[in-house]
Chain A
Amino acid sequence: MQNEFAERNKRYLEYVEIKSPKTSPWKSLFFAFLIGGLICCMSQAFTDILPLIFKGMTLEDAKTWSLMLTVTLAILLTAIGVFDDIGHIAGAGTFLPITGFANSIASPAIEYKAEGLTFGVGAKMFYVAGPVIVNGVVYSILGALLNYLIYGVIFK
């Protein structure tokens, strides 16, 4: 079948490509920048304000707390069903920061709760985040190996 209709299908797919509406890059970029930027500003604000409230908190501690607060907020917004609405507009603006990672774990946890803790939440919780983690681990190993070769062997 592939050969017989290859030409017809090729023509049709080219036509569909032209006919289908495209995402406007400028609009997407604008909202991603705006909302993603606001999220980053918020997290920076946590880092700056926390040491002022809790005397003696180091900058490192403040950064950790800031991350935890941002993640918690993203999970809360996911739980009350608001995060996906923001995500529809912001796109990469909410998906790329740590908020996207939090959402990608919280949303399957909510979704698959119905199938129970083991085969639902347990099995499916990392269904979206899993590939990200696997990629992260693989690339960090490659990075570390490269780092070792360059600085540990070549420029020793």
Chain B
Amino acid sequence: MRERLNQTIQFPNRPKVIGRHAVVGPKEGGGPLKEYFKDVLKDDKWGEKTFEKAEKKIMEHAVFAAIENAKVSLDEVDVLFSGDLLNQIISSSFVARRFNTSYIGLYGACSTMAESLALGASIVNAGYFKTVACATGSHFSTAERQYRGPLELGNQRPPYAQWTVTAAACTVLSSSEENGNANKIGKNSGANEKNTVGNGKPAQIAVTGATFGKVVDYGVTDINNMGAAMAPAAMKTLVAHFEDTGRNADDYDLIATGDLGKLGSDILRDLCGEKGINLGPNYHDCGAMIFPFSDSVCQGGSGCGCGAAILNTYIMDKMEAGAFKKVLFIATGALMSPTTAYQGESIPSIAHAVVLEA
């Protein structure tokens, strides 16, 4: 197996998911995926004075809970990869401040979960570090203030807008299963048929590949229409992934985009159709899944936490249960700045894909 083909790298050493955790806000926790969200906040300020402090707290909570879930000690985590939506990725740095480990801060907007997983898996696969934590989070109220306006301002949202998800999630990757949950260990990570259902043990999830996206800009300037801005980036990454690996959409049990929303995922289907890629019923968008469809959330969820929370709960739960064996997770990010948007600049977008196998 060639390890690198253009934008795609394969991980023959199969970095394993040994721990994971996601915490979501009350609105998300009451949505269609509520049975998968085990950690739901009752109050999205979580007793803090400001929403920024709340965002910091939920991210810290997600990281520490994931490390606990991985059954490793804090000292055993070699690197933390983390990013968020706030200026200077401040929430991530606050998390790292409490965390005695090397820290690599990432800004990939809503693509951060896939970006951190891809980088974390690369470093673990190469053997440089043994255990890494990959985290991200977002908060509706902090994002709203940074990218739009005051919360209580009585303006209307355009029908193609999206609703930033309040959630944080962390995945712990490791080169060996030894530190992981003992009951999670499969016999041989290569023989993925045997270690799933049947023997009652959850399947071991591994990151087996990643496609690093390129920045794509199709000229969308409307910061409310992020789905349309990001869909071309997702299409380019998908096309590159399929070309590099020789796979097609049917090779995956699930292809999940991070937060394109309903409109964005419809656009992605159209764009992929033009390129001859038929996204069938195995394609879903996390943004379109997280909220009940209503006027207020418009096209669905957005934000780093959206895809991250669903990946670490619903998708990985289903993988451990054997329902999905091979999943392609593509997190998309609108790399916009309100300042340049006011200056009339269009929105550069990116999408990174990671392959997860159980």
Contact = CB atoms under 8 A, between A and B. Distances in A.
A87 B155 contact: yes
Interface residues of A, number: 39
Given A9-B218, A16-B267, A20-B225, A86 B50 contact: no
Interface string B155-168: 11111100000000
Interface stretch (A54-62, A88-96, A132-140): A88-96
Contacts of A86: 154
Interface in A107-131: 107-108, 110-112, 114, 127-128
A103 B220 contact: no
B34 to A, nearest CB: 23
Contacts of A128: 149-150, 153
B153 A22 contact: no
Contacts of A19: 228, 263, 266-267, 270
Nearest to A12: B218
Contacts of B295: 88
A106 B296 contact: no
B334 to A, nearest CB: 14
Interface in B226-262: 228, 232
A19 to B, nearest CB: 6
A4 B154 CA distance: 41
A70 interface: no
A134 B232 CA distance: 40
Nearest to A20: B160
Contacts of B150: 107-108, 110-112, 127-128
A103 B225 contact: no
Nearest to A88: B156
Contacts of A95: 154-155
Interface in B267-324: 267, 270, 295-296
B237 to A, nearest CB: 17
B219 interface: yes
Contacts of B266: 19
A51 B257 CA distance: 62
B2 interface: no
A43 interface: no
B49 A13 contact: no
B145 interface: yes
A13 B220 contact: yes
A83 B156 contact: no
Contact of A103 (B49, B50, B154, B157): B154
Contacts of B160: 20-21
Contacts of B270: 15, 19
B75 interface: no
Nearest to A24: B159
B35 interface: no
A78 B155 CA distance: 12
Interface string A17-41: 0011111000010000000000000
A5 interface: yes
A143 interface: no
B152 interface: yes
B159 A22 contact: yes
A80 to B, nearest CB: 9
B151 A111 contact: yes
Interface in B132-179: 145, 149-160
A94 B145 CA distance: 21
Nearest to A115: B50
Given A12-B232, A21-B263, A84 B156 contact: no
A156 interface: no
A9 B153 contact: no
A20 B228 contact: yes
19 contacts: A9-B218, A10-B219, A12-B218, A12-B220, A13-B220, A16-B220, A16-B225, A21-B263, A79-B152, A81-B152, A84-B154, A86-B154, A94-B154, A103-B153, A103-B154, A108-B150, A127-B149, A127-B150, A128-B153
Given A20-B160, A87-B156, A106-B152, 14 more contacts: A8-B218, A12-B218, A13-B219, A15-B267, A78-B154, A90-B154, A91-B156, A107-B150, A107-B151, A107-B153, A108-B149, A111-B152, A112-B150, A128-B149
Interface of A: 1, 5, 8-10, 12-13, 15-16, 19-23, 28, 78-79, 81, 83-84, 86-88, 90-91, 94-95, 100, 103-104, 106-108, 110-112, 114, 127-128
Interface of B: 49-50, 52, 145, 149-160, 217-220, 225, 228, 232, 263, 266-267, 270, 295-296
